[in-house]
Structure 1
């Protein structure tokens, strides 16, 4: 089989249905399967999706009894997948015409590429900056958090985090792409034992890019084709805010802590959790007012 497409659903019935339909409508002449994993939604969305797509033999539905995170759900589907390539696809995206076919063709024809991401745009047509990034080293993160990346948006030094100085419609190697659309060679993903389940949500996409690059493969941004990402459609709350910043610490501990000095380690932790508490305060004030 050419491709296994994995979609994780968590209380996003309408969006998930829209995502699946966009795949069905745009993928042509491929032997593919869709595996939908429901993360204990308990809102009837899984049952409705099964009913909606019961006539499609290439769509499989799996159910987690508890929500143990995005990585766990993807790994559950990965064990059942049979495609030569795996596409991790968010449940809040619309796939545009030719995106999957062209992306698959590109990675097939470039054996040095382990992971491929496409252009990701928000509903207003602007670029989702997370779709092509550098790894969040202390230096790269400092330039972003200090505001230097905004002051010098075209600087190769100061704006390495979001790579805004590069053509958003271009094709080139990057450190990492976003998990909303991540096309991966199945054998490499399975060799890595899937996504790291230490990450509940956020960070697992950067981590798998890091690990596959360590194996000697390239991560590529393919900006000629795109998806629309309804980012944050599942809502923002204190738990997600915590998980976002916790994922930063997990990634740092896993890949940079040992090589950085004690001072850099301390500054990193202070920065992560100061930012978290500031955002938590803002979120709490918004709730009150």
Structure 2
């Protein structure tokens, strides 16, 4: 088997459903398997997987929430593919992304991990798609608001090139490279494990690359609500990374620990639930002239959206009749517009208006 796509899920049923639909399209002509490892979700994830994707997806139901690192490692152990892609459930991939990753990887004998350009639910580029190694000095500057040396700006947003650190929402590699690097360090429960694995690959003589011309939607806000628990895990992971790779004096360690505690206290905000919004200017973009949905909206063809002027518009994209690539192209070439993604079954849509806000789900 050529490729195994590993999706670790926790309570993201609706987002996971669209993610799998997009992966099935993108692997249509590839000898591939999809493995969903569920970290003991309490929502309808397992039921959805059984009824919607039975026999199309291999499901591993964990008996507890093992966290990101261990959850993925357990799934990789059962993967049969020569290549792996670690993929978040709150992503939607374009039809060509795996083909392009396979082609690029096969031409790079020293390749460690490969990443792509991640965009949020509005089409905005997510700069964490490519980062420098966060040395203590770089991390301190980042904490203080100076991220100039944190992101890997030497490679352009839409370019291809060698980088240091990739993001765990999409990490592509040879399975033997993943195993040689020891997989994700299971001391990280969530956050920081992608930095650690990227850096481990470099230390072992591999090279990490970024494909800026390949775009993947990442509804980042769905899994990054910045409450106290998130911040403790996020900054705690940074502390673990420094302890593992950078020798520090007692004074330096105490200073970093104090700064981490300060950042948690300063940035903690209560976790809030999202509200499903009603839109005044909602446009259904579809090629299905018979599609009738139980919500008020105007209808427009994909070929027409490029020629019209829309103000304060929200586009509801019919993922059954449009390609993800078509949708992403429009999202990344327009501004100040909102986007929602209709499931192929046409029974719900998802979306997110910010990389810092919770994703939205509306059932119909």
Q: CA deviation at 1:27?
A: 2.4
- The RMSD of aligned alpha carbons is 1.8
Larger radius of gyration: 2
The answer for the alignment partner of 1:177 in structure 2 is 166
Question: Deviations along 1:140-172, whole A, 9 cap, x unmatched?
Answer: 1233233334xxxxxxxxx12112454100111
Q: CA deviation at 1:78?
A: 0.8
Which structure 2 residues correspond to residues 251-262 of structure 1 after superposition, within 5 A?
Answer: 251-256=241-246, 258=247, 260-262=248-250
Equivalent position to 2:267, from 234, 259, 279 = 279
Question: Deviations along 1:18-61, whole A, 9 cap, x unmatched?
Answer: 101001112242111110011001223112212111142xx200
Matched, 1:130 2:118: no
Which structure 2 residues correspond to residues 97-108 of structure 1 after superposition, within 5 A?
Answer: 97-108=95-106
* Aligned-partner SS, 2:76: helix
Equivalent position to 1:209, from 181, 198, 220 = 198
TM-score with structure 1 setting the length? 0.89
Question: How far apart, CA to CA, are the structure 2 residues paired with 1:136 and 1:106?
Answer: 26
* Aligned-partner SS, 2:23: helix
Matched, 1:228 2:226: no
The answer for the alignment partner of 2:152 in structure 1 is 163
The answer for the alignment partner of 1:42 in structure 2 is 42
The answer for the alignment partner of 2:142 in structure 1 is 144
Q: CA deviation at 1:130?
A: 1.0
Q: CA deviation at 1:88?
A: 0.2
Question: How far apart, CA to CA, are the structure 2 residues paired with 1:239 and 1:226?
Answer: 30
* Aligned-partner SS, 2:231: helix
Question: How far apart, CA to CA, are the structure 2 residues paired with 1:212 and 1:40?
Answer: 30
* Aligned-partner SS, 1:148: coil
Structure with bigger RCO (C-alpha 8 Å, 6+ apart): 1
The answer (yes or no) to whether the contact 2:69–2:184 under 8 Å persists in 1 is: yes
The answer for the alignment partner of 2:32 in structure 1 is 32
Equivalent position to 2:253, from 255, 265, 268 = 265
* Aligned-partner SS, 1:198: coil
Question: How far apart, CA to CA, are the structure 2 residues paired with 1:218 and 1:184?
Answer: 11
The answer (yes or no) to whether the contact 1:11–1:234 under 8 Å persists in 2 is: no
Question: How far apart, CA to CA, are the structure 1 residues paired with 2:123 and 2:112?
Answer: 28
Matched, 1:77 2:66: no
Equivalent position to 1:247, from 223, 230, 237 = 237
Question: Deviations along 1:99-126, whole A, 9 cap, x unmatched?
Answer: 1110121011111111000010111111
Question: Deviations along 1:194-218, whole A, 9 cap, x unmatched?
Answer: 2111011111111111111111000
**Change in CA separation of 1:88 and 1:286 when aligned onto 2, cut-off 3 Å:** closer
The answer for the alignment partner of 2:347 in structure 1 is none
Question: Deviations along 1:266-285, whole A, 9 cap, x unmatched?
Answer: 322222221111112xx149
The answer (yes or no) to whether the contact 1:138–1:264 under 8 Å persists in 2 is: no
Which structure 2 residues correspond to residues 191-206 of structure 1 after superposition, within 5 A?
Answer: 191-206=180-195
**Change in CA separation of 1:285 and 1:195 when aligned onto 2, cut-off 3 Å:** closer
Which structure 2 residues correspond to residues 108-119 of structure 1 after superposition, within 5 A?
Answer: 108-119=106-117
